[in-house]
Amino acid sequence: MTARLADQTVFVTGAGSGIGRATATLAASEGAAVVCADVDEGTLRETVSALEADGARAQGVPCNVMDPTSVTTAMAAGAEAFDGLDVLFNVAGIGGLAHTEEVSFEEWQRILGVNLTGTFLVSQAALPHLLAKRRSAIVNVASVAGLNGQAYSAAYCASKWGVVGLTKALAVEYVKRGLRVNCVCPAGVKTPLMGKFAFPENADLDLIKRFGLVPKFTHPEEVAEALVYLGSSAARSINGIALPLDFGNSAT
């Protein structure tokens, strides 16, 4: 069986840990050269070292997705390392839970900056490289919080709804130029980020129940499988979707 990403170059944000590291690992196992980007240079080095130890072609590029200059520099270095770019995986993200009246302007800006503005900036920087290919793909990580309202998640929901909207807008704009754009919408994923999602003091239990009946956490490797599938030619007819990975949570 042919590797799904053979002879392709992929760029993965948030590659230092969690879903990003799992995606970089799976993409490499599927034959891709992997450009790993993360703001945490320590975990970034760990990911790249692990990939290289397995014989993969990997390049680490420090990248703060909120900083246009950092993004432009990282994208240029990544595309140069392996002569172009075929698939972009926008994974970097942050979040947290709080009573909306207690969310500071700085925290609002930080969450929107990483999750939504970061996805936009990286996608924009990648477009010239992706459009130079006959077929290419962007796959974003949104959330079930980008499909349904959730209490104590104003900034996170706003950012992930924005990612879903951005995904659909790009999918329509670039479909005739050979670029597909999709996103996945996981529920709870067992990553270091989950530690940021503790319910605030005096949270209403009835509102918490609206988060859905999820029987277990999703693992990063499961999300990576969906990302790699959507980024591969096996999904060549799929464009503009927001795919829930939530055990049916969004179906209720």
Alpha-carbon gap, residue 117 to 109, rounded angstroms? 10
Choose, from 152, 156, 174, 229, the residue flagged as catalytic: 156
Angle CA 112–113–115, to nearest 5: 65
The CA-atom distances, in angstroms, between 184 and each of 21, 123, 133, 230, 231 are 16, 16, 23, 9, 11
Largest CA distance in the chain: 54
The yes-or-no answer on residue 156 being catalytic is: yes
User: For the CA atoms of 78, 10, 63, 122, what is the dihedral angle to 10 degrees?
Assistant: 100
> Do the Cβ atoms of 140 and 90 come closer than 8 Å?
yes
Active site residues: 156
